[in-house]
A and B are shown apart, each in its own frame.
Chain A
Amino acid sequence: MPAASSKELLKGLAGKDPRAIGKAISMVENNADGAADILAGLDRERIENALVLGLTGPPGAGKSTLTSSLIRALRKHKKRVGIIAVDPSSPISGGAVLGDRIRMMEHALDRDVIVRSMATRGRLGGICASAGAAVRVMAASGCDVILIETVGVGQSEMDIVRLADITLMVLAPGFGDDIQAMKAGLLEVADFLVVNKSDLGGAEALCMDMKQIFAEKEEESNIPRVLQTIASENKGITDLLASINAFADYLQTHNIKKQRRVKAMESETLDWVFEMLRPRFSRQLQTQTEQQQTDPRVRAKQLIDETFKR
């Protein structure tokens, strides 16, 4: 297909055309000509009103299965849903097998469920650099709720907390070590803890443990924040969604959603500033042949001074 113009794509997005949505996300992901026009032309009101949910947690905890269950529940409420499922790129080949979608195929023919699989493309924070842009394209195409599934993460991949309005940490029995490691990280900043695979032994104990950690948060909003699910049997999903909705209202009425969005936009902007400066500095480094002995931190300062002091 000849590359569609940004104008045509924006029209397609407004009309919820799946091909236009797919093409628009590719354009922003690849930083193609016209990407800026698309991003600038998106429907701001739709973006503002959309709810962005992040699902993160260790590999195999059931993020994709839970995502599929949440889609089912959201569709019952007639919500149009977008999903961004992120898997890691191979650091060696740069390629990726994007497999989260396999667990969401029951929704493949639903025109109000838009799934986009994305690879991290070298980014380390658990999502990809273009996840924010993809969220906004989906919102602008009428998605009421957008779910982001991160790569299976450990403790430091916290980009999702920034991007999402609400972050769910999905855990399961049998991840003892992973969970210990997370106590001083993602666990503290997540909004919800979902103990999935509650059909397995150890779920109750894990739940008790988590409730202790989240006692303060639960009191603050008076909304249950530690919930049990059996995603593979579609159990516990109604309660989970009710709590998420209650919390979304809480964020809205206390003006927290807006504050979170402002912060998210600022830090994403900063990310892009650095991203866009990188090639320039990289080139400059290549031209310096004699300074390899200089300490990297000192050298960085010199580079910056040279570039901006004039």
Chain B
Amino acid sequence: MTTPYRVLIGKPGLDGHDRGAKFIARALRDEGFEVIYTGIRRTAAEIAATAIQEDVDVVGLSSLSGAHLRLFPEVIRELEARGGGDIPVLGGGVIPDEDKEQLLAAGLRAIFTPGTPAATIIESFRDACSQQ
């Protein structure tokens, strides 16, 4: 039996849209991942501290209300500050194309917007996990 990958799905900031995050969490579970879900309204520091304690292979962030440019990079900084700068971070939600480049430049591994098939997202998680 192979060891399941462990991932964290986090929702930073005040955004209450959790359907997408839960959808991703369940889709990953159905593909054999162990998924830690933090619930809504977490600070970047809380998400990073949780990722470290839970020793996840990858962090996934979901944001639909427009605060991604501030919060996604903040999670990366908080991870770095805790010695977890090597943990890849994926992002998704309502994110305009012009912001994508900025997020990728800030260190996010990939960004997925509404309408992306679940299979594509899962492949991306699997890819990121397998390189850990």
Contact = CB atoms under 8 A, between A and B. Distances in A.
A136 interface: no
A116 B4 contact: no
B18 to A, nearest CB: 11
Interface in A4-24: 18-19, 21-23
B39 to A, nearest CB: 4
A18 B29 contact: no
B64 interface: no
B49 A108 contact: yes
B54 to A, nearest CB: 6
Given A97-B37, A102-B38, A109-B46, A115 B53 contact: yes
A9 B84 CA distance: 15
Contacts of B31: 93, 95
Nearest to A32: B3
Contacts of B84: 19
A142 to B, nearest CB: 14
Contacts of B32: 93-95
Contacts of B42: 105, 108
B4 A25 contact: no
A115 B8 CA distance: 14
Contact of B26 (A1, A26, A97): A97
A101 B37 CA distance: 8
Contacts of A18: 49, 52-53, 82
Contacts of B15: none
Nearest to B132: A1
B53 A116 contact: yes
B33 interface: yes
Given A19-B83, A90-B30, A102 B39 contact: yes
Interface in B92-126: none
B54 A116 contact: yes
Interface in B40-96: 42, 45-46, 49-50, 52-55, 82-84, 86
Interface of A: 1, 18-19, 21-23, 25-26, 30, 89-90, 93-99, 101-102, 105, 108-109, 114-117, 119, 121
